[in-house]
Amino acid sequence: MAKTETGGNIDGYIRQLSPEQGYALLDKQTRQHFGISANEFIEAWRAGKFRDEEKYPEAVGLAMMIPLAV
């Protein structure tokens, strides 16, 4: 089975994450990009804070991860 540099599969498998794993992944990314927790990001996203795609281009991709974390 082929692996990426980070250890992920590239053989067509879709890796299903548990809610805990999804939250951990989103939390890691939101802390890296914005310096806030996943909970803070989710709350801010739902309030419309990160909707400006020009100002926060990475926010849309992170927002697509929210269903993995809740």
Q: Taking 90 as the threshold, does the pLDDT of residue 11 lie above it?
A: no
Q: 44, 15 in Cβ contact below 8 A?
A: no
Residue 66: phi, psi to the nearest 5? Answer: -55, -45
Measured in whole angstroms, the distance separating CA 43 from the mean position of its chain's CA atoms is 14
What's the chain's average pLDDT? Answer: 86
Give the model's confidence band at 15: pLDDT under 50 very low, under 70 low, under 90 confident, else very high: confident
Does residue 9 carry a pLDDT above 90? no
Of 15-19, 29-33, 65-69, the range with the lowest mean pLDDT is: 15-19
Q: What is the mean pLDDT of residues 33-54?
A: 94
